[in-house]
């Protein structure tokens, strides 16, 4: 398998050398000038290329860190809301405008609804004494 590649490589090298010998000086000078311009142009973009090499891994790291943060943060759902119900209930009690959300409130609050109804009716009269 390596022998045909070597033969092709040798043949291509021979053709290149033969064509280079037959090239007129004006065309050779234009080719050398074009090669120099191409190499200088590649040297100018070295900073951009290095910047890209730095930013690409940094961006990938930032994306992985963001995904890890999103996956590790607790998701508030029906089960998660019961554990944090005390915080939500005290925040809404401080406002006094809105009752606690049923999904975020402590389930034990709903066990004694009769007591809370009585307290709502009689709480104002007891507080005025």
Claim to verify: residue 13 and residue 68 sit in the same structural domain: yes
Claim to verify: residue 58 and residue 83 sit in the same structural domain: no
pTM of model > 0.95: no
Which has more confidence, 89 or 39? 39
How far is Cα 59 from Cα 51, in angstroms, rounded to an integer? 12
How far is Cα 17 from Cα 102, in angstroms, rounded to an integer? 86
Each residue's pLDDT tens digit, 68-99: 998 988 776 555 444 454 555 555 455 566 66
Query: For residue 42, what pLDDT band results from cuts at 50, 70 and 90?
Result: low
Q: Give the mean model confidence (pLDDT) for residues 18-41.
A: 89
Residue 67 has pLDDT above 60, yes or no: yes
Claim to verify: residue 17 and residue 34 sit in the same structural domain: yes
Task: Please state the domain count of the chain.
Answer: 2
Contacts for 107 with CB less than 8 Å, ≥ 6 apart: 82, 85
Domain of 27 in residue numbering reads as 2-72
How far is Cα 126 from Cα 60, in angstroms, rounded to an integer? 64
């Amino acid at each position: 398998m390596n022998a045909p590649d070597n033969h092709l490589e040798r043949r291509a090298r021979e053709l290149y050398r033969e064509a280079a010998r037959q090239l007129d000086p004006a065309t050779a000078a234009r080719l050398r000038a074009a090669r120099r311009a191409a190499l200088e142009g590649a040297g100018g973009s070295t900073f951009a290329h290095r910047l890209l090499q730095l930013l690409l891994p940094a961006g990938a790291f930032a994306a992985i860190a963001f995904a890890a943060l999103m996956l590790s943060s607790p998701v508030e759902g029906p089960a998660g809301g019961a554990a944090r119900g005390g915080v939500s209930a005290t925040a809404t009690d401080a406002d006094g405008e809105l009752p606690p959300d049923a999904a975020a409130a402590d389930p034990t609050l709903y066990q004694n609804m009769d007591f809370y109804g009585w307290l709502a009716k009689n709480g104002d009269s007891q507080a005025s004494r």
